[in-house]
Amino acid sequence: MAALRSHDLRQGDPRRRRQPRRGTARRHRRQRGSRGERRDRNRAGGLRRNADRPHHAGRRDGGDRHRHQRIRRCRRGRARLADGLCGRRIGRRRDREAPGGVAAVSGRRSRRLRAAAARAHRSSAGSVRAQGCGARLIERLRRDVRALPVIALAVIAYGIVAHASAFALQVGTYAGIFATGAIGLSLLLGNSAQISLGQAGFFALGAYAVAWLTTSAGWSFIPAAAVGVVAATVVGLGVGLIALRFAGHYLAMATLAFGLIVYGVFSQLDAFGGVNGITDIPPIDIFGHALSNAHAYWFAWLAAALCAWATWNLLRSRTGRAFAALSGDPLAAEVAGVPVKRYKLLAFAYAGALAGLSGALYAGYLGLVIPAAMGVQLSIDFLLMAVLGGSGNISGALIGAALVAGLDVAGHTWENWRLVAYGVLVVCVVIFFPGGLAGIYVRRGRSRREAERDGFAQAAAGAGTHAEAPRERSVPAAAQGESPLRIERVRKRFGGLVAVHDVSFTLEAGRLTSLIGPNGAGKTTLFNAISGVSAPSAGEIVIRGRSVTGWPAHRIVALGVGRSFQNARLFADLTVLENVVLGAFRRERSGFVADLLALRSARHDEREAVERARATLRDLGLERRAGVYARDLTFGERRRVELARAVVSDPWLLLLDEPAAGLNAAERATLRRDVLDLRSHGVTMLLIEHDMRLVMSISDRVLVLNFGELIADGTPETVRNDPAVIAAYLGDERAAGDMRSEA
């Protein structure tokens, strides 16, 4: 049975398949309607023979005609797709060049031109691997906004229809109430990579605050709800402090214990009604007007919409980047300037605040609060809402809340089967929709990589010639005489092993100093002590006249210290541009509230950070890779992106840990050029490197460590001829000639 080509963008007759009897053109098939590139036949390669190709005598298309194919190609078995695509086709490759037109040909008009080229049209722009099935963290964030209007229309339509049924209206109101709390847990779980099984405790704080203040103190709903939210926020900070000591399932158990403690307290205190709770709670009132059930539905979803808007602002800002860094690599985030502990506390406090608001709405709507409704099951319900919808996804939290609330209310009629339904639903979502139910809608959009490339290209085009100008770097004040770094008798001990022993030196401003030595000499350990990754056991470290001994890494970064790692540490789920923007964290001044409300100061800081990152990428020749995920970079590109992240904030002192390791000759030449350019702008650098040719050609000064002790300090020429260095670093006298030749 003959059929047209099943997919117009794909090749036909691949290798290891049975070929049509009459034969087909080898290699790539051209696209339907493609005219190819015109060539000057008098130039090299302009005239070619095609004797081995079928059926092209007298043909203008070079024998590449599209023929009918056969369904299943007469082969038994089921249709198969490429591995790793989860039932989807590989996306169409992007052209390396801008599409269009026939290439210009120089020469006299009398020259004969080929009508069509029998050759491959264009090559791939990069890797042709398909992206994985799971939606990436930032990809979900960027496309969340596409699903929100659809959800809003669904809420409005449901509200209009539900007026005919009191039960349907009740289900919709509960969904809106729980959606508020689900948004906070989704952020905590998906963006800051922390889990909480104690959300019912925060929910109870908000609910009991409204219940007690409105019944016993005579308060109205809004101030009572505000007190409940503040109480949940403060307690969230306390739980966050405890949670800093735990991770993984230990953190889950700690938060579960918190929820059980809150449940026990409210169950035992007579002031809160004990196990009977508090009844006769006044309905929600706005400026003295009590809301009906129909109005309560709209009020609950209005609160959820405001929380979704605020969370969306938060995740697109400096705070959102900090949360994303927490889930990627906390150590790299700390060295980039993110105070990791502070933002973990913020994430817990924010999730607690939204859960408290959800509890306040619950108490005002239901008119009854009992401890039994706020036990472990409620915490599990919140977790289900976040997981089913898609953790880290705002629209997913809304979808998950609507689904779980509907099952919870309707499930009272089939109580014995409700948990079974939950289990089946979770298993199906995890297997078939690993990005959550919201991921079904998200996957229909353009790929994140294409969007970022297009956005960067448009920004560069809009900036005109200004975009091509190199970024002006501020000359560090340390170059005016202040010493960037002074180390006094620094020692680092690991049990009985002394890794660094009484090392002392001072760096001169604007100069490049290399720190060399054999493996295990203590070079990276010394770097860790300087950058705040680990505190020294003894001694003093002074940066720009301030003793920073024992300071955390983010405080040292705030003084103008940048650092790279021996193994490049990038955030794999962020693009190149987002990785570099994170390096400008210390230069931004917007706070949590400004980010939450998207104030003008926060938007200005965001634009400035992005432009600074783009300019840095342009200076290092990485602008075309701005939209590529860090996980898809080559080894050399990862090194350069990490360098860009370290220098984007114009550091006073730059610590580079073996930046040339693993690079080929061309990449090392590029690295050498970049490092010399930074030195010409007055940046003080301390470099660890094993490439002696590179070290001796760019260094102003060389320090040599051996078994944790400083054995040499001088110019490259002095160190090259030092017998102690030759014996310790190179092994014997014969290596001296090699060292001189490499220099």
Q: What is the pLDDT of residue 410?
A: 64
Indicate if 385 and 515 belong to the same structural domain: no
- 525/657 same-domain check: yes
Specify if 685 maps to a domain.
Answer: yes
Number of Cβ atoms within 10 Å of the Cβ of 567: 12
Residue range 353-363: average pLDDT?
A: 97
* Average pLDDT for the chain: 78
Indicate if the pLDDT at residue 14 is higher than 60.
Answer: no
Contact call for residues 167 and 158 (beta carbons, < 8 A): no
DSSP, collapsed to helix, strand or coil, labels residue 578 as helix
Nearest to 720 by CA among 712, 638, 230, 19: 712
Same domain for 420 and 499, yes or no, is no
Q: Is pLDDT above 60 for 371?
A: yes
Residue of 27 and 315 predicted with greater confidence? 315
Domain shared by 428 and 505, yes or no: no
Cα–Cα distance for residue pair 302/466, rounded to 1 Å: 44
Q: How confident is the model at residue 207 (pLDDT cuts 50, 70, 90)?
A: very high
Q: Cα(729)–Cα(709) distance, rounded to whole angstroms?
A: 13
In DSSP terms, 494 is beta-bridged to 497
Pairing relation of β-strands 538-543 and 546-547? Answer: antiparallel
**Is the same domain home to 536 and 653?**
yes
Same-domain pairing of 283 and 402 = yes
305 with 239, same domain? Answer: yes
Q: Assess whether 324 and 399 both reside in one domain.
A: yes
> What is the number of domains present in the chain?
2
Q: What is the pLDDT of residue 670?
A: 93
496 three-state secondary structure: coil
- Whether the pLDDT of residue 688 is over 60: the answer is yes
471 pLDDT higher than 90: no
Q: Examine the domain organization and report whether 149 and 259 are in the same domain.
A: yes
**How many CB atoms sit inside 10 A of residue 156's CB?**
12
Whether 329 is in a domain gets the answer yes
SS3 for 334?
A: helix
What pTM value is reported for the model? 0.74
**Residue 304 forms part of a structural domain:** yes
pLDDT band at 390 (very low <50, low <70, confident <90, very high): confident
The residues pairing with 3 across neighbouring beta strands, listed in sequence order, are 69
64-68, 447-451, 535-539: range with lowest mean pLDDT: 447-451
Rounded to 5°, the CA angle 74-80-83 comes to 150
For residue 196, what are the domain limits?
Answer: 138-442
**Cα–Cα distances in angstroms (integers) from residue 660 to residues 109, 360, 678, in the given order:** 52, 57, 16
pLDDT value of position 592? 92
Instruction: Tell me the pLDDT band of 16, cut-offs 50, 70 and 90.
Output: very low
Using only C-alpha atoms, the chain has a radius of gyration, in whole angstroms, of: 32
pLDDT for 743 equals: 45
pLDDT tens-digit readout, 250-303: 999 999 999 999 999 999 999 899 999 999 999 999 888 899 888 999 999 999
Inter-CA distances, 484 with 491, 501, 686, Å = 20, 22, 11
Spell 482-495 as b/e; 16+ CB within 10 A means b.
Answer: eebbbbbebbbeee
Number of H helices, E strands in the chain: 25, 14
Residue among 368, 378, 400, 7 nearest 214 (CA):
368
Q: Is residue 25 part of a domain?
A: no
| pLDDT score of 583 | 93
Bridge partners of 486, per DSSP, are 506, 542
Inform me whether the pLDDT recorded for 187 exceeds 60. Answer: yes
Pair 283, 390 in one domain: yes
Any domain includes 399: yes
Q: Is 677 exposed, middle or buried (0-12, 13-18, 19+ CB in 10 A)?
A: middle
Q: Considering only 300-309, 461-470, 587-596, 687-696, which range has the smallest mean pLDDT?
A: 461-470
User: What pLDDT, on a 0 to 100 scale, did the predictor assign at position 102?
Assistant: 38
Three-state secondary structure string covering 385-445: HHHHHCCCCHHHHHHHHHHHHHHHHHHHHHHHHHHHHHHHHHHHHHHHCCCCCHHHHHCCC
Which residue in this structure is represented by tokens 């697109």? 316
DSSP one-letter code for 104: P
- Residues facing residue 626 across a β-bridge: none
Say how far apart CA 179 and CA 695 lie, in whole Å.
58
Of 442, 475, 503, the residue at which a domain comes to its end is 442
Q: pLDDT, tens digit, for every residue of 600-634?
A: 999 999 999 999 999 999 999 999 999 999 999 99
Tell me the percentage of the chain whose pLDDT exceeds 70.
70
Q: What per-residue confidence (pLDDT) applies to 47?
A: 44
Are 401 and 535 in the same domain?
A: no
Mean pLDDT of 217-232: 95
**442, 473, 495 - which closes a domain:** 442
Q: How far is Cα 735 from Cα 726, in angstroms, rounded to an integer?
A: 7
Q: Which two tokens stand for residue 663?
A: 């690079």
Of 206-215, 319-328, 471-480, minimum mean pLDDT range: 471-480
> How far apart, in whole angstroms, are the C-alpha atoms of residue 50 and residue 657?
55
| Total residue length of the chain | 743
Q: Is the dihedral of CA 266, 240, 139, 248 positive or negative?
A: negative
Whether 384 and 505 map to the same domain: the answer is no
3-state SS, residue 327: helix
Q: Identify the CATH number of the domain in which residue 383 sits.
A: 1.10.3470
CATH of the domain at 668: 3.40.50.300
Whether residue 192 is contained in a domain is answered as: yes
Pick the last residue of a domain from 442, 475, 509: 442
Find out whether 195 and 251 touch, Cβ atoms under 8 Å.
yes
Residue 37's pLDDT band, with cuts at 50, 70 and 90, is: very low
Structural domain includes residue 591:
no
Task: Determine the Cα–Cα distance for residues 19 and 23; give it in Å rounded to an integer.
Answer: 7
Residue 261 placed within a domain:
yes
Q: Which of 322, 345, 346 is nearest to 334 (CA)?
A: 322
Q: Which residues contact 693 (CB under 8 A, 6 or more apart)?
A: 742, 743
Q: What is the mean pLDDT of residues 490-515?
A: 94
